[in-house]
Copies of this chain bind each other. A is one copy, B any other.
Amino acid sequence: MRRLPLTLLAAGLLLAGGIASAATTIPATAVKTAEQLRDQALHDGTAMAVVTSLTTEVGPRLAGSAADLRAREWALAKFRELGFDKVYSEPVTFPLWQRRSESGAIVAPFPQPLVLTALGYSPGTPAGGLSAQVVKFDSLEALKAADPSSVKGKIVYVDYQMHRQKDGHDYGMGSAVRVAGPPIAAAKGAAGYLLRSAGTDMHQRIAHTGVTGFRDPKARTIPAAALSNPDADQLDRVLAYGKPVTVRMDLDCGIVGEYTGANVIGEITGSKHPDQVVAIGGHLDSWDPGTGAIDDGAGIAITMAAAKLIHDLPQRPDRTIRVIAFANEEMGLWGSRAYAQKHASEVAKFQLGTDSDFGAGKIWRMSASVKPEARGAIEQIAGVLAPLGVAYDATRPGGGGSDLSQMHARGMAALSLTQDGTHYFDWHHTANDTLDKIDPADLAQNVAVYATWVYMAAQADGDFGSAPGAFAEDSTGE
């Protein structure tokens, strides 16, 4: 569906335009209620209570772990406790990867420990560890260009440094070094792979985990890990002496089979169009070193709390509000891909959607992928969001977040709600992803944004253009 020929796509859009020529608008009473929801949300403690509950009572919840199961039980119970009308789950199956222990050291010329963490889907090293000479590359491009003879049997080390930005755009390259680098090094015959953590905390001895691109079960894999930033600095200093540098990686981890978890879903049932849904959510799994507060307890909490505010209105909204707590986002969007596959044929029933998965910083920008006739309704939403500091950028598409990008890719109209990610990559995928990193006021601003747009989309007269194959040109997948 994602690769529909443009001619067919254009025809489809013209056809859709022909059918729904009337502009989509949001009634004045709904705008007024949305303004009330917005203001009320800024003083509502539900999201903070939800993320505190999840991170305290469950804590880290690596996909497929015992804590992952406890997180699903927690989510089912929390949806019910908050009064959602319908609570259920849908199974998701994925490879089960486990981290048991990890350590590293410079062996020569200056022996000392290194702080590192194994990456998702990394195989383990032999017992006692893998010791090999380090060969350093300053970029992924340099690794791609390397002659296999220069890396064969060595530990490849890619030293790309991310810097802080409001939109976190360095993560594009940072994650590419982590995802694409290991398979490239493995294919060239390397013995192991190290990167400078894809993180912006320059002075913390805390490494950033995350998934590798080891997806092809037939391709060669090698032990892969990330060094903390100060450890990468130290390795750079040691390499600068110009002597051969030997590093030992000792990783006990790997894929041990298959696991079936679940997406957990709560709904506020629409009174007028119960089968039409406004879709929001976050992902329930987290990496294991932290307690998954910003990634993505915040997204779960923001969207549960926004729906709860709408639930507590005197009347049910016209359309259904669906909050999806996705399974195993971290190791490759397993929950959202399963969801999109299962619900592909219903895409036209999805009014509008996006999930929250970029921490708890304030939302500062909105963009949308909707049919032209719905631009006016988006502008109405933008008008209510403006006092929250959200700027509407009509020139950018909406991507649907991380997990709901999969439904957007199949034709669901989608928003992008860009959060302030200046410090997100200080803590992302580390032990430091804990509750203290969340500012309750910033979290409440997110809830206000979600409650506002979700309610307005649910009450709109008309749709936003969701249809099989719609928006194929601008789906970015973020």
Contacts and interface: CB of A to CB of B under 8 A. Distances in A.
Interface of A: 52, 56-60, 66-67, 110-113, 115, 202-206, 230, 233-234, 237-238, 289-291, 430-432, 434-437
Nearest to A113: B60
Closest 7 CB pairs of A and B: A59-B112, A205-B431, A230-B434, A56-B237, A57-B110, A205-B432, A203-B436
A8 B291 CA distance: 62
Nearest to A432: B205
Contacts of A56: 110, 234, 237-238
B59 A205 contact: no
Nearest to A237: B56
B205 A434 contact: yes
Which of A60, A66, A291 gathers most chain B CB within 10 Å?
Answer: A291
A436 B230 contact: yes
B234 A110 contact: no
Contact of A60 (B67, B112, B432): B112
A375 B149 CA distance: 71
Contact of A206 (B110, B113, B204, B289): B204
28 contacts: A56-B237, A57-B110, A58-B110, A59-B110, A59-B112, A59-B113, A59-B234, A66-B111, A67-B111, A115-B431, A202-B436, A203-B432, A203-B434, A203-B436, A203-B437, A204-B206, A204-B432, A205-B289, A205-B430, A205-B434, A206-B206, A230-B432, A230-B434, A230-B435, A230-B436, A233-B434, A233-B436, A234-B291
Nearest to A109: B57
A218 to B, nearest CB: 35
Contacts of A60: 112-113
Given A56-B237, A58-B112, A205-B289, 20 more contacts: A56-B110, A59-B112, A59-B113, A59-B234, A60-B113, A66-B111, A67-B112, A112-B291, A203-B434, A203-B436, A203-B437, A204-B432, A205-B206, A206-B206, A230-B432, A230-B434, A233-B435, A234-B291, A234-B434, A237-B435
Question: Main SS of the interface on chain A?
Answer: loop
A250 to B, nearest CB: 13
A99 to B, nearest CB: 11
Nearest to A202: B436
Residue among A52, A430, A434 facing the most chain B CB atoms (10 A cut-off): A434
Contacts of A110: 56-59
A436 B201 CA distance: 12
Contacts of A291: 112, 234
A237 B52 contact: yes
A239 to B, nearest CB: 11
Contacts of A434: 203, 205, 230, 233-234
A202 B58 CA distance: 22
Contacts of A206: 204-206
Nearest to A60: B112
A57 B52 CA distance: 44
Contacts of A112: 58-60, 67, 291
Contacts of A289: 205
Nearest to A205: B431
A276 to B, nearest CB: 39
Nearest to A103: B101
Contacts of A202: 436
A289 to B, nearest CB: 8
A270 B289 CA distance: 56
A59 B56 CA distance: 36
The interface centre, meaning the residue of A56, A57, A60, A238 with most chain B CB atoms within 10 A of its CB, is: A56
A430 B113 CA distance: 14
A234 B289 CA distance: 14
A244 to B, nearest CB: 15
A110 B59 CA distance: 8
A203 B201 CA distance: 12
Contacts of A234: 56, 59, 291, 434-435
